[in-house]
């Protein structure tokens, strides 16, 4: 599938790549562009929704090929399946699905008309003819339902029940998932005959949000806009080392308990850093200095956010520090619940004490 369908024909002339999100234009630097496209890295293909707003916020991308492979392996499409893809993007994954489904059908939805038009041009040039729709993928597309497989290429905070309704019993839903605190879960759900869907997290991914579920702080300076006056604060000290709290699985688990809190880390000289947390009304920050026995915490607002973070971290440690992949989600008509160690007799993950 991958050998027969390279991603190069689906990448636009201008991309942003690398740790510094450097702009690369095929017309002025074709070698750098070709090298970026050939590398196993994500490529930003649109910023600021295609406007000249100047924020340089990534709003569409081509995922790194190894991640595309992982997601398609988790989806496990068969040759005769009916597949719904949410987020056409460049069209490359749409082409890969079309290559795999020799007797099946691919329907792909893209919310951005300009991105959709570029994908359509690339797909038709490659002799692929999936059903391409411009619209809101969160609603699914009931006209071509039911689907054997459903895959999303944008992150969601809640799995829309429309996706479950439009997928056949035994069908698979693969989607990036997250919340304000952490967006790193790749979720694989299997739809049951009772109208529910359940499954575990199967990997570490980082996708852009569905446009209607974006962060409330996008386009705003975290310190200066979200936190307008850092001088108005309560000051105390903690002996809790902030470094392990930032590690991958701890960060995910804390996010399950504090889904409305966002955080940013700013690095200084040496190994110093400061992490800021905010919910739009309350905020907290902690400063890490190598060799220190205690760390300064600054806070403001009605919530004691740092105490909540410490409580969430300790709750996760008390559970034996389970990794992300030990957690999962069940989706019903009434909403979604998060569990640990399987949906039967599941341990509900709720807000930390004091939240």
Dihedral sign (CA 268, 271, 272, 276): positive
**What count of other Cβ atoms lies within 10 Å of the Cβ of residue 281?**
9
| Torsion of Cα atoms, 63 then 65 then 71 then 72, to 10° | 130
Tokens of 207: 């996708």
Say how far apart CA 233 and CA 284 lie, in whole Å.
9
Q: Name the DSSP letter for residue 104.
A: S
Check residue 97 and give left, alpha or beta (phi > 0: left; psi -120 to 50: alpha): alpha
Of 61, 63, 93, 108, catalytic: 63
d(CA 336, CA 157): 10
Distances (CA, A) of 176 to 148, 296, 331: 18, 35, 15
- Rounded to whole angstroms, how far apart are CA atoms 33 and 26? 5
For CA atoms 22, 27, 28, 30, the dihedral sign is positive
The CA radius of gyration of the chain, in Å to the nearest whole number, is 22
Within 10 A of 67 (CB to CB), how many other CB atoms are there?
18
Q: Is 63 a catalytic residue?
A: yes
Is 101 exposed, middle or buried, given 0-12, 13-18 or 19+ CB atoms closer than 10 A? buried
Task: Output the six-digit token pair for 191.
Answer: 């739809």
For residues 244 and 227, what is the distance between their CA atoms, to the nearest angstrom? 25
Contact call for residues 17 and 35 (beta carbons, < 8 A): no
Of 296, 248, 242, nearest in space to 271 by CA: 242
* Catalytic residue numbers, as ranges: 63
């Amino acid at each position: 599938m991958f050998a027969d369908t390279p991603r190069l024909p689906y990448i636009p002339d201008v991309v942003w790549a690398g740790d510094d999100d450097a702009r690369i234009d095929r017309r002025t630097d074709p070698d750098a562009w070709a090298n970026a496209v050939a590398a196993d890295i994500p490529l930003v293909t649109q910023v600021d929704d295609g406007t000249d707003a100047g924020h340089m916020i990534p709003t569409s991308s081509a995922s790194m090929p190894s991640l595309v492979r992982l997601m398609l392996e988790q989806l496990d499409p068969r040759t005769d399946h009916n597949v719904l893809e949410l987020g056409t993007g460049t069209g490359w994954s749409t082409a890969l699905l079309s290559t795999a489904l020799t007797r099946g059908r691919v329907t792909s939805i893209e919310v951005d008309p300009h991105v959709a038009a570029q994908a359509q041009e690339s797909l038709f040039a490659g002799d692929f003819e999936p059903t391409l729709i411009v619209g809101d993928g969160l609603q699914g597309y009931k006209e071509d339902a039911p689907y054997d497989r459903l895959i999303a290429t944008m992150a969601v905070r809640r799995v829309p029940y429309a996706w479950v309704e439009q997928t056949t019993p035994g069908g698979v839903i693969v989607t990036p998932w997250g919340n304000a605190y952490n967006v790193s879960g790749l979720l694989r759900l299997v739809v049951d005959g009772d109208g529910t869907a359940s499954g575990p997290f199967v990997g570490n991914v980082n996708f852009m949000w569905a446009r209607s579920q974006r962060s409330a702080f996008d386009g705003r300076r975290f310190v200066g806009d979200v936190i307008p006056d850092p001088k108005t604060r309560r000051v105390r000290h903690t002996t809790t080392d902030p470094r392990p709290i930032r590690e991958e699985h701890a960060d995910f688990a804390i996010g399950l308990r504090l889904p409305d809190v966002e955080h940013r880390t700013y690095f200084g000289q040496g190994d110093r850093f400061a992490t800021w947390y905010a919910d739009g009304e309350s905020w907290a920050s902690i400063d890490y200095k190598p060799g220190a026995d205690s760390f300064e915490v600054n806070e403001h607002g009605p919530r004691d956010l740092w105490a909540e973070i410490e409580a969430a971290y300790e709750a996760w440690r008390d559970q034996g520090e389970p990794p992300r992949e030990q957690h999962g989600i069940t989706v019903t008509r009434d909403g979604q619940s998060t569990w640990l160690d399987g949906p039967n007799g599941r341990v509900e993950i709720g807000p930390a004490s004091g939240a």
